Structures are given as structure tokens and as C-alpha cells.
Amino acid sequence: MCSHKQRQSRYLVRRTLVASVVGGCGVVLMPSVEATANPGTLSKFNQPLGLAPPMPGLPPMWVGSNHGSDFDWRFIMQPTPTVPAWAVADDFPSIPGIAITTVRWYGSYFNPMFAPRPDPTGGPGLLTTEDGWVLSFFRDIQPGAGGPPFSQPGALVGTYVASPEVVRYSNTGMIGWDMHEVWCYEVDLKDMCLAHWTQGEAEPGQFIQRNTDNGIYWLSIAAENGHDIIPGSNPFNWQSVPNNDPVIPEHFWGWHSSPENFMDLPVMGGVRMPNPVDWLYGPWQPIIDQHMGVGMAFELLYVPGPGGLALLGLSALVASRRRR
């Protein structure tokens, strides 16, 4: 079931959360850091961070930059939001029969004042600007006659939401080429609530990959503020409750890019909710990263079942990664 832990007092634009402060998120090229996923989870797909070439007089950096992927939930139900309401999405291969159970991603904050920090009162956890996270899975649309000019997310398959309490935060200790400090985040789908679901595919605790027309899914990851996510007795029984957090008139969080990609360039598009239950994304536009990024940095993990490893191995013959 989706999980919730007790909140404490507020501090500036952040809230005291008891999100786990961990020592790593499987950060690539940093051998002292270990993965934090549950025992038994394996990597199904990984677009890692990459180290930038050494530059005299500068500290080690990650290739790429962050791209704004955030919104204020209080405004996306308006016809024309007056603050940024964007989501970034990237594609990954579908491997039928493999159920994604954990998602790990990397991002940063456009201003240090928005970054997580310890509770100054000495309480557990972190103070965060974001009030929640929204992860959405889509089918794929390929370009073609009468279609879009570039590949992009199609029909929405599932949307998972969670408050920061159930997300594992870790600072990578390095900045990107955009000079923003890069963080790692990890969440188990069993701790998230379902805002949109598809039976046999987007289900509580797992995203079950199916045969698709071209073997591709898309994932969007966005930070939200303005609403508290309050779980109930099961993943379908939850509430998003408006809060009194200050309005942030610009992007506060962005998904960090990767020097690798699967098939197509990542995209960014608007986020709207014309009513309390429907999520609308788009129109989409390709992301052109100015710092050697060609995809978004994230990893999908799963718990193998009978035949799962064989399926994963066979999939490499069908869906190979492109490097650009």
C-alpha cells in the first residue's frame, strides 16, 4: 500500500519530512556508494550519470544539466497556469513479463535555497521544497505520415504519486555542468499511490510491462508543490489537499540529463488537470541539452521471478541502446 509518515513543523518554503537520508543511490563511477534498493532487486534499464572530462581548476562534474520538470498542483487545474507546469519524459524498452518495482532518478534544484537540508531543530529527515513526486508511464507514438514530427509519449497508462517521506534522498556530492548540485532519488512503487491505472499494467506496487506496438514506453518524473499527498487504506484511496506553501513563480526542480539514451531524445510538455481525476500531458517538444546530455538519468529496477532473467537477456537482442 502507499505509505505515509508523520509530518512535523514547517520551515520557510520547506516542510520537515522523515524521508530516509541514505548514503547512496547506486551512483555510477563512485565505487564507495552502494545501491539502496530492496534486497533482491535487479536493474532492468539504466541511463546513468556520466563524468565530464576533467577541466583545469574545476571540481569533478557530471555531464549534462537539469531540465525543469515541476508544477504547483494548485495551478494545474486552472485553464492557464500562471506558474511553470512542465513534465520531462524519456523512453525505455518494454520487456513483457518484467514488473518494475522501484524507480531511481537524478535531478537538481535551480536555486540552492530549494535544495533539501537537515531539520535545524534536530528532527529526523529532511526539509524539502517539493510536497510530492508524480511518476507517469505512457505508450509510444512514432513519427510518420499524419503523425507527430518526432517520437513522444502517447496514451497515459499509469500515474503514481507519493509524498517525499517515502522517497530515499541522497546527495551525489558533485555538480552538473550547469553548476547545480545533483541529487539521487529512489522510490518503491509499493509505497506510492495510484492516480491513474490500467489493469494488468499499471497496478499497485508494480508496473507490469506488456507487448506494445513498437516495444517502447515513456516515463515522466515531476516534482510537485502546493498539495499534500495523504494516503488512505489502499493505493486507490488517497487525497491531494491544497496547502499554504508559498507560490514559487519559477522552476525549482529539474531532472538531470544522461550522456546515454535508448532510442529517442527526451521531451518536455505541459501538465494539466481539467478535473480532479484526469491528467493531461503535452504538447511535447524535444529537449536539446547544451552539455552533452542526450537522455535523462534514471534506472528501473525489478524483482526477478521465474524466467525473468532469461527474458531480460533476450530483450537485449531486440532493444539495444543507442549512444549519440
**Rounded to the nearest 5°, which phi and psi values hold at 303?**
-105, 115
Q: Which three cell numbers stand for residue 161?
A: 504519486
Structural domain total, the chain? 1
CB atoms within 10 A of CB 143: 11
Q: Is residue 2 part of a domain?
A: no
Q: Is residue 231 part of a domain?
A: yes
Q: Which residues of the chain have pLDDT under 50?
A: 3-24, 26-37, 307-324
Q: Is residue 166 part of a domain?
A: yes
Supply the pLDDT for residue 123.
Answer: 76
Longest dimension (CA), the chain: 60
β-strands 99-109, 70-72 pairing: unpaired
Q: Is residue 1 part of a domain?
A: no
DSSP 114-144: GS-EE-TT--SSEEES-SEEEEEEEEEE---
Supply the pLDDT for residue 39.
Answer: 54
For residue 122, the one-letter residue type is: G
CA angle 201, 205, 210 (to 5 degrees): 20
Q: Is residue 5 part of a domain?
A: no
CA distances from 202 to 167, 207, 209, 223 (A): 19, 5, 9, 20
CA distance 201 to 138: 11
Supply the pLDDT for residue 291.
Answer: 79
CB atoms within 10 A of CB 49: 26
Give the single-character DSSP code of 77: T
Show the domain range for 33: 10-318
In a 3-state reduction of DSSP, which class is residue 310?
helix
Q: Is residue 3 part of a domain?
A: no
DSSP 259-286: S-BSSS--EEEEEE-SSSS--EEEEEEE
User: In terms of Cα–Cα distance, which of 309, 22, 44, 302 is closest to 190?
Assistant: 302
User: In terms of Cα–Cα distance, which of 274, 303, 152 is closest to 216?
Assistant: 152
pTM: 0.86
User: In terms of Cα–Cα distance, which of 72, 34, 29 is closest to 250?
Assistant: 72
CA angle 318, 320, 324 (to 5 degrees): 150
User: In terms of Cα–Cα distance, which of 170, 162, 151, 165 is closest to 36?
Assistant: 170
Q: Is residue 56 part of a domain?
A: yes
CA distance 250 to 238: 28
Cα radius of gyration (the chain): 19
User: In terms of Cα–Cα distance, which of 93, 172, 186 is closest to 133?
Assistant: 186
Supply the pLDDT for residue 2.
Answer: 57
What ranges in the chain are assigned the alpha helix state H?
A: 308-318
Q: Is residue 233 part of a domain?
A: yes
Upper half-sphere CA count for residue 249 (Cβ side, 13 Å): 0
Supply the pLDDT for residue 38.
Answer: 59
Upper half-sphere CA count for residue 302 (Cβ side, 13 Å): 22
